[in-house]
């Protein structure tokens, strides 16, 4: 990752098609655009690639989560369960619709622990967002079975795992909705942008209309319809330039994943020499997108010593226990209820605090994160970078 490593003539060609029309808006202007509808074409290509029936392009992966939650009817006061190891966008989207985020432990997949999920479900739970973190699969089949038993819809946050599969089925197609991010550091990128996919026509219809101020798109997917609005919406429209780049990047996604797999295998083979090392549980290696290489040491102290050596040799790894973007105890704005709203919303309503989160609530995750180190994997790796990383790992193996 990310996809800008392979930008080339394909992306230029797609973008120039748009510029030749002078139309950047995804809808309308039929006479000017000469039949060019890049976002619509991107949506169709994404359904073909993933096997989903419907796709709705949006402005970001964060927007995709909000659009999916709203389309499923989740709103203020509802509880949405997700995991304590994810990017902040997952729970920001929950908060932004007025819902309450509830966090589960993670297990050795570094994704949602189904056992803890079962404990967190209550009558207030209206959705579950399972995240396929760091390019590999959550236990989505088990999680979906639990959710189905409670009649709760599942959203798959697949922001970091586009192109990933489990037993031959694309991630994002197991639940009611799958959401994707195409931001600047994703394997396939449009700079900013996202996608929602679903197999349910009514859910897609709600997403399509909500993301465009409630406009009715029934007469023509390239038009905005007869204005028979069924509900209020907002603006999360993808523009034609993003759709154009997305088409070129999607065509390269499998090759990019293959490059990441080769580079990940190289690092893993070297890291096997580390004392007491273990590796993240991958449920289906064939379907791993290899965006990250994750390894665990015996304890937090051992991980810190190994990482100190790696840093001394110019190859420091990410310690997720210290990371402020992705791990629950480091989300001080959430834990402390910080908001720009003068009335304290969404943490406070009517002068009363709506909910609290205990920083110590996920001890199993904290122990696992403290001894976990990680490298992001590029699509292309220069020989000098390979030599530096492998040399640092070799030296760390003596600790």
Residue 31 shares a structural domain with residue 112: yes
Residue 345 shares a structural domain with residue 262: yes
Residue 246 shares a structural domain with residue 342: no
Final residue of a structural domain among 222, 251, 280: 251
Model confidence at 59, pLDDT cuts 50, 70, 90, reads very high
Residue 211 shares a structural domain with residue 270: no
Q: Which residues pair with 155 in a beta bridge?
A: 129, 177
Question: Residue 142: its pLDDT value, please?
Answer: 98
Cα–Cα distance for residue pair 131/138, rounded to 1 Å: 7
Residue 247 shares a structural domain with residue 261: no
Final residue of a structural domain among 251, 273, 307: 251
- pLDDT for 263-301, tens place per residue? 999 999 999 999 999 999 999 999 999 999 999 999 999
Final residue of a structural domain among 234, 251, 268: 251
Q: By C-alpha distance, which of 378, 398, 396, 55 is closest to 186?
A: 378
Residue 216 shares a structural domain with residue 265: no
The CATH number of the domain holding residue 352 is 3.90.1150.10
Question: Residue 226: its pLDDT value, please?
Answer: 61
Question: Residue 1: its pLDDT value, please?
Answer: 65
Residue 213 shares a structural domain with residue 304: no
Q: How many CA atoms lie within 13 A of 121 on its CB side?
A: 20
Instruction: Judge whether 186 counts as a catalytic residue.
Output: yes
Range of the domain at 308: 254-396
Number of folded domains that form the chain:
2
The label of the residue with tokens 């908001």 reads 339
> 391 burial class (0-12, 13-18, 19+ CB within 10 angstroms)?
middle
The CATH number of the domain holding residue 178 is 3.40.640.10
Mean residue pLDDT of the chain comes to: 96
Higher pLDDT, 324 or 44: 44
Residue 172 shares a structural domain with residue 234: yes
Question: Residue 321: its pLDDT value, please?
Answer: 84
Cα–Cα distance for residue pair 122/319, rounded to 1 Å: 33
- pLDDT for 71-119, tens place per residue? 999 999 999 999 999 999 999 999 999 999 999 999 999 999 999 999 9
Which residue among the candidates 66, 126, 186, 261 is catalytic per the annotation?
A: 186
Residue 232 shares a structural domain with residue 342: no
Question: Residue 219: its pLDDT value, please?
Answer: 59
Residue 45 shares a structural domain with residue 111: yes
Q: By C-alpha distance, which of 307, 283, 316 is closest to 371?
A: 307
- pLDDT for 133-181, tens place per residue? 999 999 999 999 999 999 999 999 999 999 999 999 999 999 999 999 9
Extended strands (E) in 20-90: 54-58, 79-83
Residue 349 shares a structural domain with residue 246: no
Question: Residue 230: its pLDDT value, please?
Answer: 87
Counting other chains too, the contacts that 300-306 makes at CB distance below 8 Å and 24 or more residues apart are 300/367, 300/370, 300/371, 302/275, 302/276, 302/371, 302/399, 303/370, 303/371, 303/372, 303/373, 305/399, 306/274, 306/373, 306/396, 306/399
Residue 95 shares a structural domain with residue 177: yes
Question: Residue 217: its pLDDT value, please?
Answer: 78
- pLDDT for 182-233, tens place per residue? 999 999 999 999 999 999 999 999 999 999 999 887 655 556 766 678 899 9
């Amino acid at each position: 990752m990310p996809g800008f490593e392979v930008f080339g003539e394909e992306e230029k060609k797609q973008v120039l098609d748009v510029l030749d029309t002078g139309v950047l808006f995804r809808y309308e202007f039929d006479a000017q655009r000469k039949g060019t509808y890049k976002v619509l074409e991107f949506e169709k290509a994404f359904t073909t690639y993933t096997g989903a029936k419907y796709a709705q392009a949006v402005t970001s992966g964060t927007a995709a989560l909000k659009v999916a939650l709203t389309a499923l009817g989740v709103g203020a006061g509802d509880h949405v369960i997700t995991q304590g190891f994810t990017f902040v966008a997952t729970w920001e989207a929950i908060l932004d619709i007025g819902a309450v985020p509830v966090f589960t432990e993670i297990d050795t997949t570094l994704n949602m622990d189904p056992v803890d999920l079962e404990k967190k479900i209550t009558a207030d739970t209206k959705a579950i967002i399972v995240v396929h973190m760091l390019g590999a699969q959550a236990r989505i089949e088990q999680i979906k079975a639990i959710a189905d038993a409670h009649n709760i819809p599942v959203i798959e946050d697949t922001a970091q795992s586009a192109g990933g599969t489990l037993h031959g089925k694309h991630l994002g197609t197991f639940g009611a909705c799958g959401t994707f991010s195409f931001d600047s550091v994703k394997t396939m990128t449009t700079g900013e942008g996202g996608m929602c996919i679903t197999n349910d026509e009514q859910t897609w219809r709600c997403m399509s209309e909500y993301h465009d101020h409630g406009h009715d798109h029934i007469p023509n997917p390239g038009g905005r319809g007869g204005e028979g609005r069924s509900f209020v919406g907002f603006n999360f429209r993808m523009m034609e330039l993003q759709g154009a780049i997305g088409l070129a990047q999607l065509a390269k996604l499998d090759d990019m994943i293959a490059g990441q797999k080769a580079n990940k295998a190289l690092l893993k083979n070297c890291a096997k020499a580390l004392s007491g090392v273990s590796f993240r549980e991958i449920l289906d290696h064939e379907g791993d997108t290899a965006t990250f290489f994750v390894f665990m040491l015996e304890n937090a102290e051992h991980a810190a010593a190994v990482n100190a050596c790696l840093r001394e040799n110019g190859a420091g790894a990410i310690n997720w226990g210290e990371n402020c973007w992705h791990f629950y105890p480091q989300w001080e704005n959430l834990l402390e209820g910080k908001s720009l709203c003068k009335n304290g919303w969404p943490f406070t309503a009517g002068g009363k605090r709506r909910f609290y989160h205990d920083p110590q609530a996920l001890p199993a995750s904290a122990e696992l994160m403290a001894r976990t180190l990680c490298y992001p994997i590029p699509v292309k790796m220069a020989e000098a970078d390979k030599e530096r990383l492998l040399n640092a790992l070799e030296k760390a193996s003596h600790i």
